[in-house]
């Protein structure tokens, strides 16, 4: 795998997505300062509805408007104020990105919810999760694919020298595949989505995006083979949730990149952020247990926090990004 062309530089580190606070200019300065080789477009859910994962991605959907109803996102009959707010926030984020990083010439990562997490969260106008209607899930995937293609183009226009990488956030994917998403009543669960159907729909997104795509899933039982065969170049995992090494080893051996979530999103009681040596050790120990050569590690693996950092203090979030960056450099220099 050493001759593989990865869409990130060797020894890279990046963030998963969310950060604390409401100042997007400051968040972007922190990301580009702490993660200069592989920055990401930060998300600030503390700004409220439309800045959260579902609302933010809902704003990207094409001809499928969304709205807030009883604090939950649902498909709307026509575009309204909630959708406008989500789109305005994204537009502001992208304009700020152009202002701060127009000359940036490396890889940059943007994030959005994947089709299954969206389908498990969005509600139909008549009530109930969109997930219960297979036809609606297909329509949602098509709308999302078109919206993400436009989103990637919007980032490219603002950062003409950068190369874009898309991350699909799919925390609900294992539950969707296993039939563990509860119905509205809470007494039952939605029918599982078959693996082949899920693979086909994910591939729709991969092909439409036209850029390298990684799938992030901070849940146990991540379907690694499904993600790889759908065409993703990498998977982002919380290393603390990896219990069975065999599937991960097989996926890496078959050419899947790993965004290794190695730094906790919150400090232990009375503790402080991990050092770069501790983060590097955690990644290195996993790699050695998998049995792959060390020279491959810095190329195929990107160091990240375990998940988003929206719930952390600003100081802790920044310290974690710094530790991840320096851990990546340590692994590269070995």
pLDDT 10s digits, 282-328:
999 999 999 999 989 999 999 999 999 999 999 999 999 999 999 99
The full set of domains in the chain, from first to last, is 24-250 (3.20.20.210)
Sorted by sequence, the CB contacts under 8 Å of residue 130 that are 6+ apart come out as 75, 118, 119, 122, 123, 124, 136, 137, 140
Per-residue three-class SS string for 196-225: HHHHHHHHHHHHHHCCCEEEEECCCCCCHH
220-225 — which CB contacts under 8 Å span 24+ positions?
220/174, 221/174, 221/178, 222/173, 222/174, 223/173, 223/174, 223/177, 223/195, 223/198, 224/248, 224/250, 224/251, 224/256, 225/250, 225/251
Largest CA distance in the chain: 58
- Could you read off the pLDDT of 188-243 as tens digits, one per residue? 888 999 999 999 999 999 999 999 999 999 999 999 999 999 999 999 999 999 99
Per-residue three-class SS string for 163-177: EEEEEEECCCHHHHH
Question: What's the pLDDT score for residue 185?
Answer: 78
Cα 260 from Cα 331, distance rounded (Å):
13
DSSP label at 186? Answer: S
Residue 73 has pLDDT above 70, yes or no: yes
- What percentage of the chain has pLDDT greater than the value 90? 90
Band the pLDDT of 2: cuts 50, 70, 90.
very low
Angstrom distances, CA of residue 21 to CA of 148, 167, 272: 25, 22, 20
């Amino acid at each position: 795998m050493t001759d593989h062309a990865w869409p990130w530089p060797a020894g890279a580190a990046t963030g998963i997505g969310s950060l604390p606070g409401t100042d997007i200019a400051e968040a972007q300065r922190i990301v580009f300062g702490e993660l200069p080789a592989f920055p990401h477009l930060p998300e600030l859910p503390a700004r409220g509805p439309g800045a959260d994962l579902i609302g933010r991605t809902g704003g990207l959907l094409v001809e499928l408007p969304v709205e807030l109803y009883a604090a939950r996102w649902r498909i709307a009959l026509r575009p309204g104020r909630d959708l406008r707010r989500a789109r305005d926030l994204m537009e502001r984020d992208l304009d700020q990105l152009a202002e701060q990083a127009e000359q940036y010439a490396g890889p940059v990562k943007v994030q959005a919810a994947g089709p299954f997490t969206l389908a498990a969260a969005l509600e139909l106008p008549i009530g109930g999760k969109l997930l219960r209607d297979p036809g609606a899930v297909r329509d949602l995937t098509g709308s999302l694919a078109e919206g993400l293609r436009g989103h990637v183009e919007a980032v490219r226009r603002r950062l003409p020298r950068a190369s874009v990488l898309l991350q699909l956030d799919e925390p609900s994917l294992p539950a969707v595949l296993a039939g563990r998403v509860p119905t509205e009543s809470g007494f039952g669960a939605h029918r599982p989505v078959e693996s082949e159907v899920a693979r086909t729909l994910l591939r729709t997104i991969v092909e439409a995006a036209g850029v390298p795509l990684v799938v992030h899933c901070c849940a146990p039982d991540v379907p690694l083979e499904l993600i790889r065969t759908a065409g993703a170049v990498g998977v982002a995992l919380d290393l603390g949730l990896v219990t069975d090494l065999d599937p991960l080893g097989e996926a890496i051996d078959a050419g899947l990149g790993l965004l290794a979530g190695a730094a906790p999103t919150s400090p232990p009681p009375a503790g402080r952020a991990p050092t770069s040596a501790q983060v590097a050790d955690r990644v290195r120990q996993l790699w050695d247990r998998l049995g792959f050569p060390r020279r491959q590690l810095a190329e195929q693996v990107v160091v990240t926090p375990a998940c988003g950092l929206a719930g952390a203090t600003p100081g802790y979030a920044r310290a974690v990004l710094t530790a991840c960056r320096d851990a990546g450099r340590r692994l590269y220099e070995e």
